[in-house]
Amino acid sequence: MKLSHDFQTVFARRSRARSFAAALAWSSAAGALAVAVAVPAHAQVSSASLRGTVKADGGVSQVTAINVNTGLTRSVTVGENGSYNIASLPVGTYRLELTTPGGVRRTDEFTLSVGQSAVLDFDFSQPDIASGGDDAIIVTGSRIRSMEGGEVGTNISQRLIEVLPQNNRNFLAFADLAPGVQFITNGSDQSRLQGGAQGSNSVNIFIDGIGQKDYVLKNGVTGQDSTQGNPFPQLAIGEYRVISSNYKAEFDQVSSVAVTAVTKSGTNEFHGEGFIDFTNQSLRDRRPSENFPRYIPKVRSKDIQFGGALGGPIVKDLLHFFVTYEGKRRVNPRDITPGLELPISYFPSEYQDVFGSAKETFNENLYFGKINFTPTNNDLFEFSVKYRDESGEQFNSGFASFETRTIAKVEEWRGLARWEHTADTWINDLKVAYEDVTWGPRPLNFGNVSIFNATVPNPPPATTSRRGDILRIGAGSNFQDKGQNGWQVSNDFTYTGLEGHTFKVGVKGKWVELNTNTQNGVNPVFTYNVNYNPNGGTFNDDIPYRMVFSAPVSGGDPNITSKNFQFGIYAQDDWEFDDRLTLNIGLRWDYERTPAFLNYKHDPAIAEFVAGRASYTGPNGTVTPPYTNLVNADYNIDDYISTGSERKAFKGAWQPRLGFTYSLDDDKRFAIFGGYGRSYDRTQFDNIQQELTQGLFATRTFNFNNRGDTLNTCVPSATCIAWDPAYLTPEGRAALIAGLPVGAGRELRFIKNDLKIPYSDQFSLGVRGKFNLLDLELGYSYVESKDGFVYLLGNRRADGSFFPATGNPDSPFGSPPAPFGSIIIGTNGIETRANTAYFKLTKRYTEFSPWSLDATYTFTDAEENRQFGETFSLDFPNMDAYPFITSTGVRKHRFVMAGSVDIPYGITLSGKFQIASPKYLAAFVFTPGDPLSRDIVSTKTKGNGDLWGYRQMDLSITKNIPLKFVADETRIRLRLDIINLFNDRNFSGFNSVTGLRNPTDYAIDGPPRTVKLSAGFSF
């Protein structure tokens, strides 16, 4: 093969450098870790593909792709029909060299994006290619095309990440530009990603090909449960692709949104950046609670974010490094307000000072480092590590007093080693990854907790009353230590040797230990009915009607662990059936063993007792007759009782993934696309471990019959007793449970032995059109999710029924298997259905057309049989009894638009606008009669405007000041962000029955108008 001068030079340089590259790598990287500045957009590494055909007299023998920033090269032989296929290329800027009988022809530079399946054809008989001689540069321009197949999604470029306004530096903040995707920040500044009508736990984010799935907690990504932090330093993210539905077979452990992101890497030039962002109470508008019900001074707030990165060569064309750090220091205002919209004057004077404003603190440190090593044209090695550390005092707005706040703690390590080897017709990609994640909130104060519960009438003309908690004081209750740690080994093999096909097979094995430690009841909780006044008082805080606390069962340990094994395998084929039709055909299978669940053994004495087959004899000799209430129940408790041999790991996770693209014209400007796919997620360990927790370190519940309290009555038993002030002390509680059967007062958990894994079926159909720099897409998708995990109430009345024959349709909490608490059974049953129609417009930014626009309108008609997060469904006997209602987590209409433009004097203007229709809330409705019937309906809220329920406009102005006397690319950056420019009040407190806003609830989603000042430099 004839090598160009450039190839000869690169090859020689690599040969000389190879012997000492490893030693230089470690010393240079160690020095670089002390500096914090970033590389520009083109310094990125991840997978894309490039294929096409070349037509020329005499043929083209070879096509070589060269990364212009790192020197990485990939060469393939051209097939007899003129086709070439380069199946795995790191994201970046490339040029091609085509070896013809007359010499080597070169293209200009073009960019490949994450997850892009690019097509680039050449016909040397065309005038714009044939003219100019061998030294002429072939202009790619509009020749390059992308084949997305049946996927529904969008790409978020480095430019969008850099220029669009945002408040929290979470790189996922722009994922809502994809159809059906929401990036939601609640009133506590905690963010989550959501796809369609499914919960956040069904999301997965892949960074450099490694899933960041949280196997224990909600919100999909490790470390993101109840935090203001970010999952990854934004400076380290090169770009990412958001896929709403119909992903390929290589995506696992996801049933809604898949995000695949690539991290930056160093190039052959040193580049860096540093930044600081600042805002405080003087730079924000007044929050509604600072104006109403009375005008008060602004509560102090502060948000400082800072960091930087550095990347460059250790050995040019051979070894590169990239390091980054980002920090966050926040002080946030929070509001303590009475529950049930009560006035503060309702409370005795000693409690009135509890209400008002308070401050929450949050700190985060994010580190990331990466080394790339390309010893040959056929080998690429990557080594990266991430560390995340979060702390602070967590406190949410609501009726809980400031003293109940929690000490937050998140710590996360992740590491990745990767070797990609490329041959002429195949590529092998081997990855070894490690993770160690801890989420461990702790109460700031220890002691007793008091919750005050009240019943108040609904406003006229309603004749009913509301009951709920109105104030919480005392110690905190969030005491947990949960996480995961382990290793993953995966291998992906791609074969391109068969004309028109790109075959890819992969296998993954993962050994991960899951752990939970839940002691939320370590601080006992006493609940008072404040309306109870047998002695003529007006506010009862003397005698509680319920006590809840945690205690070991027979010396049990609250630490629950499970050494899980996960295995996944897939095969897929991207088949160019002809010059217009491309098929994406794939199949994957996943398997997981959770020993803590599979091998669990229920106490046989308790199992026989609740099944009604035997009496229960406590350790003190007390004999309790069998609990016969389940004999005629509508479920078989034996399906939930495990002796250690009934449970088998689920083996039915077969997942076909099919997609197609059909070009409607010869120029491939218009195409029809579509697909079908099944995707299995997983059951959160935090749900299924509760079976073990209740058997070892249980929550004990005791009720008290108080004279004159007609709302809270119970049948006298071991757990329905008379109140004694001694129970306020640890000694009194210890004496109480010492005199009762082991585990008395604790709930009994039983999970169905043949538990299935949640999954979704996804369909899509649409049309795409390309008009030079403008892309249009119109599409429809349908996603149906099934087998979500749910806990149901297993108690039944004496005749086996759930509801009484007459009277109120109350759940049978009053019929537990005494001396134990209620029976709670875990099974599958939560479902969602979402029909989505969308329109997407993208105008790409270029140097010659320096403006961009991304706009997406989504209409979603969705329904659910349970709201997000409502794992416990204790109102009806089974999930068949829960009606499907309009989804409460998805707004029917949603429009998101983001744009940017470069104007003179080095200024860039950018903005992001969101508007959505009012949300729906779920509410119980009651139908008079005997028995009284109840149902669940969804109520459309009245919104925050005439037509909209949520609206926010963000604006950013960036001024770049070049410092060319230092270096050509050195500059200072000054930036002004205005978040919520029009100061829209997106109130979040609505009455679920009337749909009207609660007039005394001033909580809002998102910030008031906030100005953020930023400064930075880059070189």
Please, which pLDDT band fits residue 131 given cuts at 50, 70 and 90?
low
**DSSP H or E run through 161:** helix 158-163
What percentage of the chain's residues is helix, strand, coil (to nearest 5)?
A: 10, 50, 40
Q: Is the peptide bond before 904 cis (omega within 30 degrees of 0)?
A: no
Across the range 941-957, mean pLDDT stands at 89
Query: Is residue 29 scored above 90 in pLDDT?
Result: no
Strand partners of residue 52 = 84
- Lookup: tokens for 887: 């989804």
Q: What is the pLDDT of residue 966?
A: 81
Report the mean per-residue pLDDT for the chain. Answer: 88
Across the range 116-144, mean pLDDT stands at 75
Please, which pLDDT band fits residue 932 given cuts at 50, 70 and 90?
confident
Give the integer Cα–Cα distance in Å for 472 and 897. Answer: 42
Give the integer Cα–Cα distance in Å for 307 and 235. Answer: 8
Q: Give the phi and the psi of residue 234 in degrees, each rounded to 5.
A: -65, -30
Query: Is residue 673 scored above 50 in pLDDT?
Result: yes
Tokens 């690539």, residue located: 262
Q: What is the pLDDT of residue 17?
A: 38
Give the integer Cα–Cα distance in Å for 474 and 451. Answer: 9
Please spell the DSSP secondary structure of 773-836, one letter per residue.
Answer: TEEEEEEEEEEEEEEEEEEEE----TTS-SS-SSS----STT---TTS--EEEEEEEEEEEEEE
pLDDT tens digit sequence for 475-491: 998 999 999 999 999 99
Query: Is residue 355 scored above 60 in pLDDT?
Result: yes
Beta strands (DSSP E) in 7-82 are: 44-45, 48-55, 62-67, 73-77
**SS3 sequence, 883-937?**
CCEECCCCCCEEEEEEEEEEECCCEEEEEEEEEECCCEEEEEEEECCCCCEEEEE
Query: Is residue 1 scored above 50 in pLDDT?
Result: no
First vs last C-alpha separation in the chain:
40
Check: CB of residue 517 under 8 Å from CB of residue 480.
yes
pLDDT tens digit sequence for 192-211: 899 999 999 999 999 999 99
Across the range 504-511, mean pLDDT stands at 97
Query: Is residue 616 scored above 50 in pLDDT?
Result: yes
Q: What is the pLDDT of residue 23?
A: 35
Q: What is the pLDDT of residue 186?
A: 81
- Among 146, 148, 150, smallest CA distance to 674 is for 150
Please spell the DSSP secondary structure of 512-575, one letter per residue.
Answer: EEEEEEB-GGGS-EEEEETT--TTS-SS--SS-SEEEEEEESTT--SEEEEEEEEEEEEEEEEE
Check: CB of residue 819 under 8 Å from CB of residue 745.
yes
Q: What is the pLDDT of residue 141?
A: 66
Give the integer Cα–Cα distance in Å for 353 and 308. Answer: 44
- Among 369, 374, 323, smallest CA distance to 70 is for 374
- Lookup: tokens for 328: 């966050």
Please spell the DSSP secondary structure of 181-238, one letter per residue.
Answer: EEEEE-TTS-EEEEETTS-GGG-EEEETTEE-B-SSSSSSBTT-TT-S--SS-GGGEE
Cα–Cα distances (Å) from 941 to 118, 357, 917, 990, 997, in that order, read: 45, 27, 10, 7, 8
| Coil vs helix vs strand at 141 | helix
Check: CB of residue 939 under 8 Å from CB of residue 992.
yes
Q: What is the pLDDT of residue 533?
A: 66
Q: What is the pLDDT of residue 832?
A: 96
Query: Is residue 2 scored above 50 in pLDDT?
Result: no
Query: Is residue 995 scored above 60 in pLDDT?
Result: yes
Q: What is the pLDDT of residue 537?
A: 65
Q: Which one has a higher pLDDT value, 16 or 570? A: 570
Cα–Cα distances (Å) from 90 to 48, 87, 378, in that order, read: 6, 10, 13
Tell me how many degrees the CA angle 961-965-966 measures, rounded to the nearest 5.
Answer: 85
pLDDT tens digit sequence for 269-303: 999 999 999 999 999 999 888 888 778 888 899 99
What is the percentage of the chain residues whose pLDDT exceeds 70? 93
Cα–Cα distances (Å) from 824 to 298, 371, 515, 749, in that order, read: 46, 51, 22, 5
Q: Which one has a higher pLDDT value, 167 or 595? A: 595
Q: What is the pLDDT of residue 345?
A: 87
Q: What is the pLDDT of residue 462?
A: 61
Q: Which one has a higher pLDDT value, 508 or 927? A: 508
- Lookup: tokens for 492: 């992906």
Query: Is residue 344 scored above 80 in pLDDT?
Result: yes
Residues of the chain with CATH 2.60.40.1120: 5-146
| Coil vs helix vs strand at 303 | strand
pLDDT tens digit sequence for 686-736: 999 999 888 787 788 888 988 777 777 777 877 888 899 999 999 999 888
Give the integer Cα–Cα distance in Å for 703 and 705. Answer: 7
Query: Is residue 3 scored above 50 in pLDDT?
Result: no
Q: What is the pLDDT of residue 954?
A: 97
- Rounded to a whole number of angstroms, the CA Rg of the chain reads 31
- Among 867, 805, 796, 785, smallest CA distance to 825 is for 796
| Coil vs helix vs strand at 268 | coil
- Lookup: tokens for 675: 């697909």
Please spell the DSSP secondary structure of 630-662, one letter per residue.
Answer: GTT-SS-GGGT--BSSS-------EEEEEEEEE
Q: What is the pLDDT of residue 513?
A: 98
Q: Give the phi and the psi of residue 58 in degrees, each rounded to 5.
A: 85, -10
Give the integer Cα–Cα distance in Å for 570 and 25. Answer: 35
Number of separate helices (H) and strands (E) present in the chain: 10, 55
| Coil vs helix vs strand at 827 | strand
Check: CB of residue 86 under 8 Å from CB of residue 76.
yes
Cα–Cα distances (Å) from 983 to 284, 397, 919, 1004, in that order, read: 10, 20, 20, 11
Query: Is residue 458 scored above 80 in pLDDT?
Result: no
Number of neighbouring beta carbons within 10 Å of residue 717? 15
Q: Give the phi and the psi of residue 570 in degrees, each rounded to 5.
A: -150, 160
Query: Is residue 13 scored above 80 in pLDDT?
Result: no
Query: Is residue 568 scored above 60 in pLDDT?
Result: yes
At position 808, the amino acid (one-letter code) is: N
Please, which pLDDT band fits residue 20 given cuts at 50, 70 and 90?
very low
Query: Is residue 132 scored above 70 in pLDDT?
Result: no
Across the range 375-404, mean pLDDT stands at 94
Query: Is residue 794 scored above 90 in pLDDT?
Result: yes
Strand partners of residue 57 = none
Please, which pLDDT band fits residue 142 given cuts at 50, 70 and 90?
low
Across the range 19-29, mean pLDDT stands at 34
Q: Give the phi and the psi of residue 202 in degrees, each rounded to 5.
A: -90, 5
Region class of 307: left (phi > 0), else alpha (psi between -120 and 50), else beta: left
- Lookup: tokens for 222: 């490790």
pLDDT tens digit sequence for 731-785: 999 888 887 777 777 889 999 999 999 999 999 999 999 988 999 999 999 999 9
Tokens 């471990």, residue located: 689
At position 490, the amino acid (one-letter code) is: S
Query: Is residue 37 scored above 60 in pLDDT?
Result: no
Across the range 420-432, mean pLDDT stands at 94
- Find the range with the poorest average confidence among 140-144, 313-317, 539-543, 800-804: 140-144
Across the range 846-872, mean pLDDT stands at 93
Is the Cα dihedral 310, 311, 316, 318 positive or negative? positive
Give the integer Cα–Cα distance in Å for 323 and 311. Answer: 6
Q: Give the phi and the psi of residue 2 in degrees, each rounded to 5.
A: -80, 125
Across the range 21-28, mean pLDDT stands at 34
Region class of 790: left (phi > 0), else alpha (psi between -120 and 50), else beta: beta
* Interstrand relation of 73-77 and 62-67 (parallel, antiparallel or unpaired): antiparallel
Please, which pLDDT band fits residue 957 given cuts at 50, 70 and 90?
very high
- Lookup: tokens for 434: 């490690």
Give the integer Cα–Cα distance in Å for 949 and 331. Answer: 28
Strand partners of residue 502 = 574
Please, which pLDDT band fits residue 341 given cuts at 50, 70 and 90?
confident
Across the range 501-523, mean pLDDT stands at 93
Across the range 127-137, mean pLDDT stands at 67
Q: What is the pLDDT of residue 31?
A: 34
- Lookup: tokens for 864: 């659910």
Q: What is the pLDDT of residue 998?
A: 82
Query: Is residue 442 scored above 80 in pLDDT?
Result: yes
CATH class of the domain defined by 5-146: mainly beta
Q: What is the pLDDT of residue 88?
A: 84
